[in-house]
């Protein structure tokens, strides 16, 4: 098997394709979270604090004029929001799996031997 055909077989496996889709969706989700922080949370929640510091964005926060801890703080907030949303998603998935597991399985159908034994039992009862 040639190297190209091996690579094609590897790249077309379900896990690799699923991972690629997950990375793309994750990148898009990251943009949503960044927009949520910059366009919603910062103006609503942090606006009074930023105005007191004479800033318009959290990323502009600095210490000693050059240490941009605002960028770090924005990254921490991004992480916490992503982690919380993923927690909620996984919690929902686990709850749905638990509901599926709680449904009792139907009892198995009797085997041929059991059917024959039931017929014999019924025939013996009818003789008595």
CATH number, position 45:
1.10.1200
Global pTM value: 0.49
Structural domain count of the chain: 1
Q: Domain range spanning residue 44?
A: 3-127
Determine what percent of the chain is predicted with pLDDT higher than 70: 95
Q: What is the DSSP string of 32-74?
A: HHHHIIIIIIIIIIIHHHHHHTT-SSGGG--BTTTB-HHHHHH
CB contact burial 63-78 (16+ within 10 A = b; e otherwise): eeeeeeebeeebeebb
Query: How much is the pLDDT for 83?
Result: 82
Q: Which pLDDT score, from 0 to 100, does residue 121 have?
A: 92
71 CB-near residues (< 8 Å, 6+ apart): 59
């Amino acid at each position: 098997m040639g190297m190209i055909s091996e690579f094609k077989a590897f790249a077309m496996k379900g896990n690799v394709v699923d991972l690629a889709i997950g990375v793309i969706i994750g990148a898009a989700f990251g943009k949503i979270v960044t927009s949520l922080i910059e366009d919603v949370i910062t103006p609503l929640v942090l606006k009074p604090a930023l105005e007191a510091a004479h800033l318009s964005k959290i990323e502009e926060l600095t210490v000693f004029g050059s240490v941009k801890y605002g960028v770090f703080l924005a990254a921490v907030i991004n992480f916490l929001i992503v982690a919380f949303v993923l927690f909620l998603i996984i919690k929902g998935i686990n709850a749905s799996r638990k509901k599926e597991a709680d449904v009792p399985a139907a009892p198995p159908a009797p085997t041929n031997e059991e059917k024959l034994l039931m017929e014999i039992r019924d025939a013996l009862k009818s003789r008595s």
